[in-house]
Structure 1
Amino acid sequence: MTKKLSLPALVIATSCLALGAYAAAPAASAAAAAQPKLVVVLVVDGLPNEQLLRYRDQFGQGGLRRMLDQGASFSNAHQAHGITVTAIGHSAVLTGAYPYVHGVIGNNWIDPITKKSVYCTEDTNYTYIGEETKSSDGTAPTRLKVDTLGDQLRYATGSRSKVVTVSGKDRGAILLAGKTGTAYMYMDKSGNFASSTFYMKAHPGWVQQYQAAKPQDRYYGKSWTALLPEAAYAGDANPDLNQVKAGAHNRLPYSYYSESGEIDAGYYNSLKTGPFLDQLTLDFARAAVDGENLGRNPAGVPDLLGVSLSAHDYVNHAFGPESKLSHDHLQRLDRMLADFFTYLDKKVGMDNVLVVLTADHGFPNTPEFAQTQHNDAQRIDGDKLMAALDKHLSEKFGGAKLLSAWSLPNIHLDYAQIDKSGLKREDVESAAARYLLAQNGIVEAYTRTQLESGAANTTRIATLMRRAWNREASGDLMVVTKPYWYFGTGTSGTSHGSPYAYDTNVPLMIMGKRWIKPGAYGQYAEVVDIAPTLAHLLQVRPPSGAEGRVLTETLR
C-alpha cells in the first residue's frame, strides 16, 4: 500500500526536490554556456555524396578526412525537395525550410504576373559596391520569404553576433547570409569579392585592403595540374566521352589566360572552372575572420561564417562527376580545407569552432557516360517540347494560345485566355499533363489543381515536388524527367535539378568535439535539419520556416 504524505510533508518533499534542482543548476548553466565561439557552415556547390565516399581513401588527413573521422557524417542525407538547384539548396541550409515556404523556387523563374524571368537574388534597388551591376545580378535576399539561423542568432544577441558569408556565386552568399548578415561574392569581371548596398554603403577597410592586393591576378598564366600520381585516376571516365566546344579542353593541365593576352574579364571568368576560385574564396574567408574578429567577438557571443565553394559545380557541369577533372578538383579542395582548418585552429582554436559541411545538390553523370553504364540517358530540348505542347493545346481547344511561359520544370498556362475561351482550367491542365506524359523522357506531370488540393500521388517523388512548388510563385504544371534525363541542349557536360538520389543525396557532416559525437550515421537526414540542430546548440529560436529535426543522435 502506498503511503500518502501529509500536506506539510508534501511541501517539505517538494522543497527538497526544488533545492536539488537548484543545486544542479550551476552545472547545467555551465554546460549551456559552452556555446561555439564560431560556427562555420561550408557548402560545396554541386558535390554528390557518392564522390565523397568514392574518393575518401585519397584524401589527406586534415580536411574532408578530418571531418569524416572526427565529426558526425550522414551517408543518407538529402536535399529533400524536387528541384535540386543552387538557389534552392543554399536556401535550405540555414532556413531549414522547403521552397513551398521560403519562396525561392529556382535560380531563375517566371513571375506569374509579368510572365518575365526573374533571378533569385535580384533587386534593382541595390548595386554592387564599386563594381558593375546588371539588372539581373544578385544583390539582396528580397525574394527569400523567411529568416535564417544567422538572423535568429543576431536577434538573440541584440545584433552583437556577426554573420558573414562569402561565395563564388551571388546566390551562394546572399541566401546563406539571410536578412541581417553580410554577403560577399566573386565578381567575374574584376576578380574582386564585393558586397552590395543592401548590406552597407561602403566596404570596410579590411575589404579595401584585400582588394588592393589583387590576389586574383596571381594565377594568370598558371595551370591546374594533376595533384595525384596518374594511377590514382585510373577509374575515371575517358575524357573523349565528353565532347567540349571548339577551343576548349577537357584535360589536365588546364591553363588560365585570356584571349587578349592581358589580365581581363575573360581571365577572371575562366577562374570559376577549377580550384583557384575556391582558393580565393577561402582566402577571402580568412580575411573576414581577421577583419571582423570572427570567433573572438568582444561581446562574448557566437559568430557565424558561411563559405560557399562554387567551383566544383562549374567543373561537374562542364566535365561530369566521373571525370578526372572533377576527381582532382575534390582532392585539391580537400587540401584547401585542411589548410583552412589549420588557420582556424591558430586564430580561434578548433575546440571553439563548430563546422558543418554539406552541398546544395548532387550531380548526375553525363548522358554519354551514363549510356556506357547501360542507363537510358539523354538530354531533352525544353523549348522544342514546349513548342509542341503549345501547338497541341491550341489544336485541341479551338485555336487559342493557352501556354504563356515556362522555366522548366515549371510551366505557366494563360488562365485569362482559358477563362475567356469558356474552358475549364482543370481540363486544360489535365490535357497538358496527359500530352507531356506521352513524350519521351517525361515520367511525371503535376497540375496546379492536384498540387493545391493534395491530390497528387503519395510517392516520394510527388512529395519532393510538392515541397518544391510554391503556390504564389510556381507554375501551373511541373514536369519530371526520367532518371538520367534532363532538360538541356548541346553535346557535352551535364546538369542537375531532379528529385532522384544522384541529385538529392549530399554530404552532411558536423564536427566539433565539445558538442558532436563522431561516427558514421546511416539514419535518414535532410539538409533542413542543419538549421534546427545549430539553433539548439546556439540556444536560439529556430528560423521561422524551419521544418527539420534536431539531429539529437549526434549530440554529446
Structure 2
Amino acid sequence: MKRIILLAFLFHFSLAYAQKTENAPKLVVGIVVDQMKNEFLYRYADQYSEGGFLRLMNEGFYAANHQYTYMPTSTAPGHASIYTGTTPAVHGISANNWYDPHAKEIFYCVGDNSVKSVGLSTSAGQRSPKNLKTTTITDELKLFWNFRSKVISVSLKDRGAILPAGHLANGAYWYNDGVFITSSFYMDELPQWVTDFNNSGLANAYIKKGWQRFSPDLEYKASTADDSPYEMIFAEEDRPVLPKNLKKLAPHNRNADILKLTPFGNSIVLDFALKAIEEEELGKDAITDFLSVSFSSTDEIGHVYGTRAIEVEDTYIRLDADIAKLLNTLDEQIGKDNYIVFLTGDHGSAEVAQFSLDNKLPGGYIDTDSAAKALEEVMLTLHPSGMDLVETLEGNELYFDKEKVAAAGLKISDLAEAVAERFAYFPGIYAAYPTADIVKSASEEFPIKNLKRGIYPAVASDVIWVLNSGWMDYGSVGTQHGTPWKYDTHVPFILYGKGVKKGKIYRETNIRDIAPTLSMILQIPLPSGTTGTPIVEAIE
C-alpha cells in the first residue's frame, strides 16, 4: 500500500514538474542600454524600424513612468539594482568607485585582485562580483533549476557584464582592446568559440569600415546641427562630424577601444551575444537560460557628444536595427513564444550645461576652485589643522580623518554639520547634509530618501551633497549623470514575450520592481535583498 502511495506521489510530482518546465520560457534576455533616457523611445521614433524598439513597445508591456529612486544614478549601481531588485543601501554597489574609510582606499565596484585575467594578459581581467552583497535574479534562476540553467552575460564594460551575471554565472565577458575577456572567477580559459570570435578580426573590420551616416539622406531632425560646440573632437580630427575615418583615428584614440565611442561597440556586443546563443545552446531545452546584454556605447557617446548630437541619434537608429536583429534571431532559434525580453536603462543623463546656459535653461558649472577655498575656510574656523582633518573627497562626498579628528578633541558630527551648512548655500549646490543624518532619517522627502537608498552604511561618508538641477562639475562638452533629478532617473522599462501581458501603464514604477516581476513570471524565488514589488499589470 505504501508503495502504491509513493508511486502515486511521484507520478503527481512528475506531472507538476513537467507542467512547470512546459510553462517556463526557454530563455530570458535582459537588455540594459547604458544612459538611455525614456524620451529616446519617442524622440527618434520616426527613424526606428517596426522590428526593434517599436516592436517591443507595441507588442509587449511598457511602463512609461519608470524611475530610479536613489542617488547616485550611475552604471554599476544601476545594473546591480536592476538584477537584485533593491538599491545600493542593500546590495552594496553604491557607486562605480567608492572610498572605504576603514580600509582607507578607493574600491572599484567589480575589482578583485584575488582573480586573474583570462583571455588577455592585463589587469582589466581582475574582476568579480565579490562586492555585490545580495543575490541576483540570475543567481536565483540557477539555484531554482539546481544549476542546470545557463547564465551568460556580455557587455563592453566589465561592470555591465559582471553585476547582471551574479555570483553563479557560467560566463561573463567584457571588451578590452579588440577582444572579449573574462576572469578566473568564472573559468580558467576561454571557451574555444570565444577564442575563435576574438580571432575573427571583427573589431578591425568595424574600424576599417568607419562611421558613416546610417543613411546618406537622413536629416537627423531630432538633433542639433552637426559640428556643435558641445561635442568632443577626437585627436587628429578637425571637426566633430560624421563621417569618421576610424582607421585613421584609432591609433590616436584608444586603438581598438575606439569602438566603444561608436555605435559599433554595441554591434560587436550583439555579434558576441548571438554567437553565445548558438555556441552555448541557450534556450535549447526545457530549463530556462538567461542571457544578459548590456549596450554601453550609448553611454560613452553621450559623455563626449551630449544628449542632442547627431552622433547620438545615429547610434540609437543603429541600436534599433541591432535589437530588431536580436529579436528575429530569437524568433528563429528559440521560437517566438518561448522567450522573454526586457529592456531598460541603467540611468539617464543631463543636458550639456553649456547648452542649457546658451538656451537660458537652468544649469551651470560648479566653480571647483571656489568650492575648495570655501571648504578650506570653514575647516580653519573649526580647528587650526584645517584641511589636514579631511581624509579625502570622492565624488559628491567628504570623509574626515577620524583618528586626527579624535586627537584634536573634536566630533565628526560637529565638523560634518559645519561643512554641510557652508556647502548648502554654495552656488550650484541644491542641498548638503551630514551623511549620518541621512542614514538615520525616516524622511520620505526629496532628496533625503534618494540619498539614503544610495548609501551603503558600512562605507558611509561624513558629508554628502546634491547639485542643482542642470549643474555639472566639469567640461563644456558631453554630458554626465549621477543626480536624483528626473533627467537622470527616468528610464524605459519594456517587458515582452512568454507570460507577459500586453499593455502600457503611466503610474510610477521603479527599478527595484524589475527583478521581482521576473521572479513572479518565472515562478522562482526573489533575490535575497529585494525591496521592490512585482508590476502585476505586466503578468498574464
Q: SS where residue 69 of structure 2 aligns?
A: coil
User: Which has the greater radius of gyration?
Assistant: 1
Gaps of 5+ in 2: 1-11
> Retained in 1: the 8 A contact 2:115–2:126?
no
Matched to 1:176, the amino acid is P
Q: Which residue pairs with 1:146 in the alignment?
A: 134
Q: Select 2:462's aligned residue among 459, 465, 476.
A: 476
Q: Which residue pairs with 2:357 in the alignment?
A: 371
CA deviations on 1:316-353 (whole Å, 9 max, x unpaired) are 11111111111111011001110111111111112101
Task: Tell me, in whole angstroms, the C-alpha distance in 1 between the residues paired with 2:200 and 2:383.
Answer: 64
Normalised TM-score (structure 2)? 0.92
Aligned residues: 524
> Retained in 2: the 8 A contact 1:84–1:497?
yes
Q: Which residue pairs with 1:520 in the alignment?
A: 504
Task: Tell me, in whole angstroms, the C-alpha distance in 2 between the residues paired with 1:226 and 1:259.
Answer: 17
Deviation at 1:314, TM superposition (A): 0.8
Q: Select 1:89's aligned residue among 78, 85, 109.
A: 78
Q: Select 2:40's aligned residue among 44, 48, 51.
A: 51
> Retained in 2: the 8 A contact 1:244–1:491?
no
Task: Tell me, in whole angstroms, the C-alpha distance in 2 between the residues paired with 1:550 and 1:260.
Answer: 45
Matched to 2:77, the amino acid is I
413-422 or 386-395: which moved more? 386-395
Q: SS where residue 270 of structure 2 aligns?
A: helix
For the pair 1:251 / 2:241, whether they are aligned, the reply is: yes
Task: Tell me, in whole angstroms, the C-alpha distance in 1 between the residues paired with 2:359 and 2:61.
Answer: 32
For the pair 1:160 / 2:148, whether they are aligned, the reply is: yes
Deviation at 1:254, TM superposition (A): 2.1
Task: Tell me, in whole angstroms, the C-alpha distance in 2 between the residues paired with 1:331 and 1:153.
Answer: 33
Distance 1:166 1:381, change over 3 A: farther
Q: Which residue pairs with 2:451 in the alignment?
A: 465
Distance 1:374 1:56, change over 3 A: same
Task: Tell me, in whole angstroms, the C-alpha distance in 2 between the residues paired with 1:521 and 1:230.
Answer: 36
Distance 1:253 1:506, change over 3 A: same
Matched to 1:494, the amino acid is T
367-376 or 529-538: which moved more? 367-376
Task: Tell me, in whole angstroms, the C-alpha distance in 1 between the residues paired with 2:29 and 2:306.
Answer: 28
Task: Tell me, in whole angstroms, the C-alpha distance in 1 between the residues paired with 2:97 and 2:197.
Answer: 32
378-387 or 288-297: which moved more? 378-387
Matched to 1:115, the amino acid is K
Deviation at 1:30, TM superposition (A): 4.1
Deviation at 1:179, TM superposition (A): 0.4
Task: Tell me, in whole angstroms, the C-alpha distance in 2 between the residues paired with 1:441 and 1:342.
Answer: 48
Q: Select 2:62's aligned residue among 73, 90, 95.
A: 73
Q: Select 2:433's aligned residue among 420, 437, 446.
A: 446
Distance 1:537 1:29, change over 3 A: farther
Where do 1:297-446 residues align within 5 Å? 297=285, 300-380=286-366, 382=368, 385-386=371-372, 388-400=374-386, 401-446=388-433
Deviation at 1:42, TM superposition (A): 0.2
Deviation at 1:167, TM superposition (A): 0.2
RMSD: 2.3
Q: Which residue pairs with 1:112 in the alignment?
A: 101
Distance 1:33 1:377, change over 3 A: same
376-385 or 322-331: which moved more? 376-385
Deviation at 1:517, TM superposition (A): 1.7
Distance 1:383 1:313, change over 3 A: farther
Task: Tell me, in whole angstroms, the C-alpha distance in 2 between the residues paired with 1:42 and 1:528.
Answer: 16
For the pair 1:221 / 2:208, whether they are aligned, the reply is: yes
Distance 1:372 1:435, change over 3 A: same
For the pair 1:503 / 2:512, whether they are aligned, the reply is: no
Matched to 1:274, the amino acid is T
Task: Tell me, in whole angstroms, the C-alpha distance in 2 between the residues paired with 1:269 and 1:308.
Answer: 16
246-255 or 25-34: which moved more? 25-34
Deviation at 1:433, TM superposition (A): 0.1
Deviation at 1:225, TM superposition (A): 1.7
Q: Which residue pairs with 1:535 in the alignment?
A: 519
CA deviations on 1:231-257 (whole Å, 9 max, x unpaired) are 641341234231534644421112212
CA deviations on 1:204-243 (whole Å, 9 max, x unpaired) are 2221222222211212332212224656413412342315
Distance 1:194 1:55, change over 3 A: same
Task: Tell me, in whole angstroms, the C-alpha distance in 2 between the residues paired with 1:332 and 1:260.
Answer: 21
Deviation at 1:28, TM superposition (A): 12
Matched to 2:132, the amino acid is L
Matched to 1:185, the amino acid is Y
Where do 1:192-271 residues align within 5 Å? 192-228=179-215, 230=217, 232-238=219-225, 239-245=227-233, 247-248=236-237, 249-258=239-248, 266-271=254-259
Normalised TM-score (structure 1)? 0.89
Q: SS where residue 118 of structure 1 aligns?
A: strand
Q: SS where residue 351 of structure 1 aligns?
A: coil
> Retained in 1: the 8 A contact 2:214–2:317?
yes
> Retained in 2: the 8 A contact 1:75–1:520?
yes
Deviation at 1:62, TM superposition (A): 0.7
> Retained in 2: the 8 A contact 1:278–1:309?
yes
Distance 1:131 1:265, change over 3 A: farther
Q: SS where residue 509 of structure 1 aligns?
A: strand
> Retained in 1: the 8 A contact 2:353–2:471?
yes
Gaps of 5+ in 1: 1-22
Task: Tell me, in whole angstroms, the C-alpha distance in 2 between the residues paired with 1:72 and 1:157.
Answer: 27
Task: Tell me, in whole angstroms, the C-alpha distance in 2 between the residues paired with 1:331 and 1:280.
Answer: 16
Q: Which residue pairs with 2:8 in the alignment?
A: none
Q: SS where residue 32 of structure 2 aligns?
A: strand
Q: Which residue pairs with 2:479 in the alignment?
A: 494
Q: Which residue pairs with 2:115 in the alignment?
A: 126
Aligned residues with identical type, % of pairs: 32
Q: Which residue pairs with 1:285 in the alignment?
A: 273
Task: Tell me, in whole angstroms, the C-alpha distance in 1 between the residues paired with 2:182 and 2:59.
Answer: 34
Distance 1:296 1:510, change over 3 A: same
Distance 1:177 1:390, change over 3 A: farther
Q: Which residue pairs with 2:9 in the alignment?
A: none
> Retained in 1: the 8 A contact 2:31–2:343?
yes
> Retained in 2: the 8 A contact 1:105–1:474?
no
CA deviations on 1:33-86 (whole Å, 9 max, x unpaired) are 411110000000010001112122321011101001011111100122110000
Q: Which residue pairs with 2:6 in the alignment?
A: none
For the pair 1:551 / 2:535, whether they are aligned, the reply is: yes
CA deviations on 1:414-444 (whole Å, 9 max, x unpaired) are 2222222111222111101011112110011
Task: Tell me, in whole angstroms, the C-alpha distance in 2 between the residues paired with 1:427 and 1:266.
Answer: 46
